[in-house]
Amino acid sequence: MLDRIENGLVAANRWLLIVMLIAMACIVFANVVLRYATDDSIIWAEEVARHLMIWGTFLGAGLVLRYGGHVAIDSLHHAVGNKGAQVLRGIVAFLIGAFCLVMTVASMNYTWFMRFQTTSTTDISFAWIYAALPVGFFLTFIHLLFVVRRYVLEGRYMDSPEMDAESAASL
């Protein structure tokens, strides 16, 4: 049951990122073509593409964490032995989890404060853009919960036939 939930979360997260990246690419491409073909551009294109990039960054952070794509310095893990490395990885995982939870709460407050300010072109509330922060940090925390045991005990991340650390980092 838990595996199905995890697989569903990963699949939904990946497809959402794919759709957002395709939308962003189409918007930017259409804007460039229109600018050079007609000397006119879509006035909202840059703003919407930027907001999609913000959402993509925060939604993708959890997937990148899951496959070990974030920058890490692991030379101390190799120097302290197996038990010491497990303790060190446990501390690191705890700190990452605590950071994600603190940032979820802090960014929820920030999002709430931004609800009356609107964007210049599309005139939507900045709360919709800043909502990417609490959603992304909480999603990263959930991804951490799914991989933490394997990471702490074995020092390994999740394996996937189509995703490795370098591919995850390129998201």
Higher-confidence position of 161 and 94: 94
pLDDT in tens, 72-98: 777 777 778 888 888 988 998 999 999
- How much is the mean pLDDT over the chain? 89
| Percent over 70 (pLDDT), the chain | 91
Domain around 98: 2-169
Q: Are 147 and 157 in contact (CB under 8 A)?
A: yes
In the beta sheet, which residues pair with residue 118? 125
User: What is the count of structural domains for the chain?
Assistant: 1
Check: CB of residue 157 under 8 Å from CB of residue 66: yes
Per-residue pLDDT band for 150 (boundaries 50, 70, 90) equals confident
Residue 143 near residue 62, CB atoms below 8 Å: yes
